[in-house]
Amino acid sequence: MFKGLGAMGDMAKMMKAAKDMQTRMTSLQEDLARITVTGESGAGLVQATATAKGELTALSIDPSIFVASEKEVVEDLILAAIKDAQKRAAEKTQEEMGKLAAEMGLPAGMNLPI
């Protein structure tokens, strides 16, 4: 189609590649909002669920840990579960971004903007 146009043909290819990448990034953003991960602490007594984008969506606390004298322990367990969920969300995002980069033929370890 663009044969013989030299730089114009290359520019058209680059524009198409950029548009394809933008479409895939938009799709990935939507996927990351749907993918969930669960972090936990206290051997599963506290669980925090978040999207791969890091948005906390649920918190589950085993009632057996609700002892008034252990308030600080419960608070620490809740924070630990949330931090674990956030860490897992970040790891999942990097994993999904790596898959997209590989599909697009980009070098391994290249950080794509989220």
Distance CA 112, CA 94 (A): 9
Query: Each residue of 81-103: pLDDT tens digit?
Result: 999 999 999 999 999 988 888 88
The answer to pTM > 0.85 is: no
Kindly state the DSSP code that residue 90 receives in the 8-state scheme. H
Complete domains list, the chain, with CATH: 34-102 (3.30.1310.10)
Query: Each residue of 19-53: pLDDT tens digit?
Result: 888 898 899 999 999 999 999 999 999 999 999 99
Crossing angle between the packed helical segments 71-103 and 7-34, to the nearest 10 degrees: 150
DSSP-based three-state secondary structure for 61: strand
Q: Which residues contact 50 (CB under 8 A, 6 or more apart)?
A: 36, 37, 38, 39, 56, 57, 82, 85, 86, 88, 89
- pLDDT greater than 60 at residue 5: no
